[in-house]
Amino acid sequence: MAQATWNGAVIANSDTFEVVDGNVYFPESALDRRYFRPSPTTTVCGWKGTAQYYTLVVDGKENKDAAWYYASPKDAAKNIASHVAFWKGVTVTR
């Protein structure tokens, strides 16, 4: 089992997940969508593709671009399609 928490809230929880480059990727179905807001930010990884971001909002506090995902990952990263990973102070345990 893997769990992601931030600002005292469980934002993702799942028995299934992928680990890539040391990051835990949660299936989208594991997210508590109350805490996620789309972000216009994008970045590009040479082997995974273009990442898109979410900003987390918990109890009025905002964590800008703290979650990312690859909507259309390259073939080498197909296993993380429809998965989300975290950083910027989000605690992930497994």
What's the pLDDT score for residue 28? Answer: 97
Per-residue model confidence as pLDDT tens digits over 65-86: 999 999 999 999 999 999 999 9
pTM (2 d.p.)? 0.96
User: In the chain, what are the domains?
Assistant: 2-93 (2.170.150.40)
- Report the phi/psi class of residue 28: left, alpha or beta, with left for phi > 0 and alpha for psi in -120 to 50: alpha
Per-residue model confidence as pLDDT tens digits over 3-48: 999 999 999 999 999 999 999 999 999 999 999 999 999 999 999 9
Which three-class secondary structure string do you get for 47-87? CCEEEEEEEEEECCEEEEEEEEECCCCCHHHHHHCCEEEEC
d(CA 76, CA 78): 6
